[in-house]
Amino acid sequence: ELDKQEKTQPWNVDTISKEGWSKTIINKPVPKVDRSELSDEELEKIYKEFIAKNEKKIKHFGLLSKADDCKQYLMANQELVCEETANYLALWCLNLEIEEKHELMEFVAKQVVSMQYILELSKQLDVDPRGCVSAFFARIDKADKEYKEAFQDELTSFKGRIKERALKRIEQAMKEVEEEERQKRIGPGGLDPEEVFNSLPESLQKCFESRDVTLLQKTIAELDEEEARVHMKRCVDSGLWVPDAKDLQQTSESDESEQNSNEIYSEPKANE
């Protein structure tokens, strides 16, 4: 009946013209990428390739402060809405804290938590995170007091974890440096001169500190013979005591306990 009515209508602009630029767009949920089947090596490769391509964009997003700017930037660069961005920003926060750039770390931390919230929202809706950008910013903008407090609590917790992790990294780095310095100090017998010096009786420590050969001879004479031999052997092995070349020739590796007694009269040389 409608077709019949249209055919019987007189021709005019309204009945013979058609819209040339009108169209309807229906947004479909973006399919979610499944990472559970990827190996650690594959995930690492994806991360490195992603960062090499998008590092500047990620840092730009990390330095944005206004919610509208963040939303617009992510909408224009949807490839950034992923776990790789969150991981990079979290690592950046850690490095900033280690470098004692505390204010900048706290600034970037907000973007980390925002990205984590978007990723969590995508899990709840079971869609790709790129489809949750508008939903997150709309929710955070109109959120009630409890939701905003929960966001702030997570932000505070994240910054606390970053600070704790940074302290552990710094402590580990200091230990590694100390171990390197210790290895450089190790004497010919594999002992640390600093540790050996601290283990010596106070009377012997004074001899090495003053480099007084006469005092050393006197102190050794006052010690028990076996105790003196043990201490002097440890001094030689650590490099605190450097025997004369003549003494070294007379001392064999198979009979270190019977070193020539002339070693205690050679000139002491403090390890640098």
Helix (H, G, I), strand (E, B) or coil at 187: coil
The C-alpha angle 105, 110, 112, rounded to 5 degrees, equals 90
Determine whether 89 is exposed, middle or buried from the number of CB atoms within 10 Å of its CB (0-12, 13-18, 19+): buried
**Which domains does the chain carry?**
42-182 (1.20.58.610), 193-238 (no CATH)
**Spatial distance between the Cα atoms of 102 and 260, rounded to a whole number of angstroms:** 60
Euclidean distance between CA atoms 93 and 162, whole angstroms = 7
Q: What is the pLDDT of residue 9?
A: 60
- Segments in 186-269 forming alpha helices (H): 193-199, 202-210, 213-222, 225-238, 245-250
Buried b (16+ CB within 10 A) or exposed e, 247-264: beeebeeeeeeebbeebb
Cβ count near 134 (within 10 Å)? 12
* DSSP state string for 29-52: PPPPP--TTS-HHHHHHHHHHHHH
pLDDT at residue number 189:
72
pTM as predicted: 0.60
Per-residue pLDDT tens for 116-136?
999 998 988 888 889 899 888
For 125, residues 6+ apart whose C-beta sits below 8 A from its C-beta are 29, 131, 132, 135
Q: H-helix or E-strand containing 188? A: none
Question: Measured between alpha carbons, how far is 98 from 95 in angstroms, rounded to an integer?
Answer: 5
Q: Which residues of the chain have pLDDT under 50?
A: 12-27, 29-30, 245-272
Determine contact, residues 155/163, Cβ cutoff 8 Å: no
pLDDT tens, residue by residue, 221-263: 888 888 888 888 888 888 877 766 444 444 444 444 444 444 4
- Look at residue 154 in the predicted model and tell me its pLDDT: 94
Kindly write down the DSSP assignment for every residue of 148-178, as one continuous string: HHHHHHHHHHHHHHHHHHHHHHHHHHHHHHH
Model pLDDT, residue 260 = 43
